[in-house]
A and B are shown apart, each in its own frame.
Chain A
Amino acid sequence: MHELLYPIVLPAIAGIIPLFIPRKGKLVAGIISLAAYTWVLIKVIALFGIGQLAWSKTLFSFDGEFPFVFALRLSHFSGFILLFIAVFGALVLLYSLGYLHGKKTSSVYYSFILWTLAAAAGAALSDNLFLLLIFWEILTFLLYFLVNMGGEGHAEAAAKCFNILGFSDAAMLFGILIIWMHYGTLSMSALHIPTNDAFGAVAFFLLFTGAIAKAGSIPLQSWVPEIARPTYSSVMALIPAALDKLLGIYLLTRLTLNIFIIESGSWISLVMMILGAVTIIVAVFMALVQHDLKKLLSFHAISQVGYMVLGVGSGIPIAIVGGLFHMLNNALYKSGLFLAAGAVEKRTGTTDLEKLGGLAGLMPVTFVTTVVTALSISGIPPFNGFVSKWFIYQGMLAKGGNVIFLVAAIFGSALTLASFIKVLHSLFLGRRPERLEGVKEVDFTMQLPMVFIAILCVLFGVFASYPLQRFIIPALGLSGVETANGAITTISTAGFWSPTLATILIIVGIIIGLIIYAFGRVGNVRVDENVWIGGNIMDNEEIRLPGTGFYKTITDDLGPVVRGAFRDGERGAVDPYNIFGRICMGCINVLRALHNGILSTYLSWVVIGLGVLVFILMFNSY
């Protein structure tokens, strides 16, 4: 078997094993899956080391026409995507061992996860657009099953997710057909389609639909928050938070840089940047007012995609670098956050922010990892989110960028911070409800992935030039990217702010502060049992202030327009899925009115139909 087939075929085969293991033995199934996937991870690391490789085989053709080529191509870009797919896969499999313990889940879960990983590897490696679409569809299909394994409300959520992703897959199919008919090839590395004619532009937007629906950008975002609540946190951490971002933005980057020729500053680029900026702001406002942790995180998952679309869509080299680095960083901290949400859910049984609080001392590991990932997503220096946003800001000031998008990006970042302050307060800091006394930290298998991800968040921020030089710049540089503003390989990270020095200085500052504390008598503090409010001692439940009310000012006090917009957004009125659903329901109601249950009506329909048929047959003589 060719090396390139390992990451696809091995998990696919290993995924068969859990099918034969009964529910009681799901830990065994998990360990087998993890062991098998660790082997895949090692293979993938070796592949990443090789760098470039290609393999193809024509599976079938009709008399030499319409060949279906199973073409795989490893480049520095797809290698890097594949590497992180494998890393996240292994982490989530490890996490699942503890997370599923005590849940009524069958072992098939592991089959679905392994197959998802196989399909994701296939999508990352495939060099044929049609093959890519097939893997894309398999992912959609498996996600449907995984969502359906979740808790209350899973059926509707899975259906919505399947519909939206299915719609986008159909759009991709049309785009691929257009490309096939006009350019005669589907090989991704051979296509360079100009977008200044109608065919190119239409084909681009059809494929673009597939990419952004998977990544979860406006207007096809609404499946992410819909599935967030019922779905397992481990699934959320793996698929919408990590794999879908990696693959969606991977495809978007390939589309904008290789497959289609898009000038920076063209109208297509402008459309993408507007979509990106709108996504950032709208989604973060919706996130601000959420009451459920997983739903809140899913809105942030959408908002962050805005940065990537903005960066990659701009066509400005430095912003593309930022967009791609942000994709990697976002995959890290977002899956870290979902894993932490899963840990809290596991121990407290809820993700409702109003019912939580004061877990910092009880779940210290989860707390610290959440703080790191939350500050990363808010773009606080020196964590990784800052560096990648930073490159995007930089690009927006360059030629072809726009200051308005820069404002949207920075402002979105401030709102993200606000939203995570609410999360930190509601989960970990505020007063602890009595119900949660005695909550314990999660198992080692769940801690390890969270800690690993948090460490990567810090390292990728403090030593940002390493991931940039190792993953991002080779990925772009060696796929032959030449944009209007020069080759991407010429970007160096010298002269940018040095996060390492800043980190050292902040540590020195903290030491200075601690010295001041040492001078004071902070060692012998007095602990005061009571909280006095207005001269009275209040009891705990009475003065517990959950973070859910933090931003009521924004939703309630800023006038009817803002209030209306939020209510609209909560109900999902601006969601294209619902609008489309309503139009379809209208059509169905017309048809329904015809079904009145009276035999003569049906008979008359049959007769009319027969008449039409006869008419057609008589007057269309072949």
Chain B
Amino acid sequence: MDILRPILYYAIFPGFIFSAVVGLLTTWVDRKVTARVQWRVGPPWYQPFADTVKLIGKEVVIPANARRTGFLMMPVIGLAAATLASTILWIVNLDPSKSFVGDSLVVIYIMTIPAVSMIIGASASGNPLGILGASREMKLLFSYELPLIISVLTAIVKVGSFSFKNILAYQSEHGVIIWSISGIIAFIVAILCAQAKLTFVPFDIPEAETELAGGSHIEYSGVALAVVRLNMAIMFFVLPIFLITIFWGGISFDGWRILTSIVKYVVIVVIMVLIKNTNPRVRIDQAVRFFWGPMFILALAAIILAKLGL
């Protein structure tokens, strides 16, 4: 069956089950490293799974003033989109001939859907703190999107093509993009944007536990919260893979390259976790100014350098 194969890819490997498992494991890495930074022991590896299972069993509470269908459906739509992004990324990494024209931009677009669905869900929750979180998340989204796109375009300009296939082929031929001046600048910008995309500190402004008490997640509980968490875990898995594919030669499963692939992935995850643990939260206007100011200029510099061939 022609249609069954993509559905299997999507549902099991490298789609939903695989992404969810690795994503949850990644959140464990996050928690463990965070704990070590704070001189704690940290949870055992299965903790995120236990949390998810427990949340699924919990009661769901919905505010009376929420738009119920939208409120409950949005995390599911986000989950579907995050899984789709993960599937496309893995398939092109494992078999570049499956790549299609311009898949890199398609993936960028699809990666915005989880954030958007979170925003709409929070807006439907009827809780003013949730709505405040939603408005902040939206502002954060369009502030980091500008430098993120430019930094990805830096790689695209260097390669001269939109598609992952050519980006990967270029990197195996000419060396990875990160080892050029424009490449490293673009990578730094992109990793900071990824930090904001995951709403990690210093850009956890929409959730801001201490001031908004969870912000956009505030009203989610039980299985809905489990889906929200799963969503974030998959995004935590997708973004490093995306950065590796664009800037760092991609992921491969043959022979020793499995090991280097895992090392690349862990390095990026640890960098993100360290940034997260060593910075205070910024205000939303500071974040917008940061992304539209220094980050935008850096990204522009990167793209100009790339045009010059550096």
Contact = CB atoms under 8 A, between A and B. Distances in A.
Interface of A: 358, 360-361, 379-381, 386, 390, 393-394, 397, 403, 406-407, 410-411, 414-415, 417-418, 421-422, 424-425, 428-432, 495-498, 501-502, 504-510, 512-514, 516-517, 519-522, 524-531, 533, 538, 540, 543-545, 547, 549-551, 553-554, 557-559
A520 B106 CA distance: 32
Contact of B141 (A418, A495, A528): A418
20 contacts: A361-B67, A407-B146, A411-B142, A411-B149, A417-B141, A429-B124, A430-B126, A505-B7, A506-B81, A509-B79, A516-B227, A519-B223, A520-B55, A520-B222, A521-B58, A522-B222, A522-B223, A550-B135, A557-B285, A558-B288
A496 B101 contact: yes
B129 A528 contact: no
B120 A508 contact: no
Q: Which of A414, A514, A543, A551 has the most CB of B within 10 A?
A: A414
Contacts of B284: 553
A522 B79 contact: no
Interface of B: 3, 6-7, 10-11, 16, 55-65, 67, 70, 72-73, 75-77, 79-81, 83-84, 87, 100-103, 105-106, 109-110, 112-113, 116, 119-120, 123-124, 126-129, 131-132, 134-135, 138-139, 141-142, 145-146, 149-150, 153, 156-157, 161-162, 222-224, 226-227, 230, 284-285, 288-289, 292, 303, 307
B123 A380 contact: no
B76 A513 contact: yes
B84 A502 contact: yes
- Nearest first, the 6 A-B pairs at minimum CB distance are A520-B223, A509-B80, A513-B76, A557-B285, A550-B135, A425-B123
Contacts of B84: 502, 505-506, 509
Q: Which of A510, A516, A529, A543 has the most CB of B within 10 A?
A: A516
A299 B162 CA distance: 31
Contacts of B87: 505
Given A509-B79, A520-B57, A533 B128 contact: yes
Contacts of B76: 509-510, 513-514, 517
A406 B87 CA distance: 26
Nearest to A553: B285
Given A429-B67, A430-B126, A505-B6, A526 B60 contact: yes
Contacts of A407: 146, 149-150, 153
Given A410-B105, A528-B61, A538-B128, 6 more contacts: A381-B110, A421-B138, A497-B103, A505-B10, A509-B81, A522-B224
Given A504-B3, A509-B79, A520-B56, A531 B127 contact: yes
A326 to B, nearest CB: 16
Contacts of B73: 510
Nearest to A391: B102
B245 to A, nearest CB: 16
Given A429-B123, A505-B6, A528 B222 contact: no
B126 A531 contact: yes
B109 A381 contact: yes
A594 to B, nearest CB: 52
Contacts of A403: 153, 157, 303, 307
B16 A509 contact: yes
Nearest to A512: B16
Contacts of A418: 138-139, 141-142
